[in-house]
Chains A and B, each alone.
Chain A
Amino acid sequence: MKLDQFKPLTVYTIYIASTPEKVWEALTTAEFSRKYFSGFAVETEPRLGGKFMVRAPDGSEHISGEVLEYDPPNRLTVSWNVNWPDLVEKLGTTLVTYEIAQAGEAVRLTMSERHDRPLSDDILSGGRTGWPAILSGLKSLLETGKAPQIKMAPPAKMLDALKAMGIKVP
């Protein structure tokens, strides 16, 4: 897989009063992610080529992927494929990259979602609604020890757009 062929379509940056190591741990382990990611558990095998997955609160494997860039605590790229039938076939692989850098007393975290083809704003709207809430939750958790429970409406536009492409959504 040539990573250069994937263009960032959604990019978010957040500053967190923490250390790069803590931010890395929060992004890669279930213990943290359950608290800021609506109960979803991130599991990251800590090596290049390792398995990456996100389990839904019911234990099912919601997102699966592979560790494609591994440079703790600075840079991580994983493939981020939602396990809905035909989704990857129709949308291609999704990559997610985290860049973590010290910025004075804070840590600058940049998340980019990359794709190998153009996708409509409707398709991208799911991530664009979800990521700011996830990242804000991560920030709160690391800074205050507690992440607020953010109530998210289902990403209706994205679900409609996926259905229109013939992708079965739950």
Chain B
Amino acid sequence: MDEVFKALADASRRSLLDRLHAENGQTLNELCEGLEMTRQAVTKHLAILEDANLITTIRHGREKLHYLNPVPIHQIGERWIKKFERSKLAALSELKRQLEKRDE
């Protein structure tokens, strides 16, 4: 679990996760598009994310595709979010989503 928090502590790595959240299953080239980072830096960050099991790669034909893997985050939730809090948290995040949508 240490690896997950270390991997998430870096803003560039969080932005790579955001990009996969917006569109899952991208190649390295697609992930590099429009980023200020070098390809080498992106590759390094992706390796750290993969070691922390926050992303998974899969070969599809000739391409290597990257996927967001929420399982470790789900496990963090299971460990620290008590069952009775879950429905309240879901209600709060839904409220937040609705309110923010109105501002768009």
Contact = CB atoms under 8 A, between A and B. Distances in A.
A2 B61 CA distance: 12
Contacts of A133: 74
B65 interface: yes
A132 B77 CA distance: 11
B9 interface: no
Interface residues of B, number: 18
Contacts of A151: 83, 86
A118 to B, nearest CB: 11
Contacts of B86: 151
Given A13-B56, A110-B56, A8 B71 contact: no
A153 interface: yes
A52 B8 CA distance: 39
Interface of B: 24-25, 53, 56, 58, 60-61, 65, 67, 69-71, 74-75, 78, 83, 86, 90
A153 B90 contact: yes
A117 interface: no
B25 A8 contact: yes
Interface in A133-153: 133, 135-136, 148, 151, 153
A7 B60 contact: yes
A76 B74 CA distance: 25
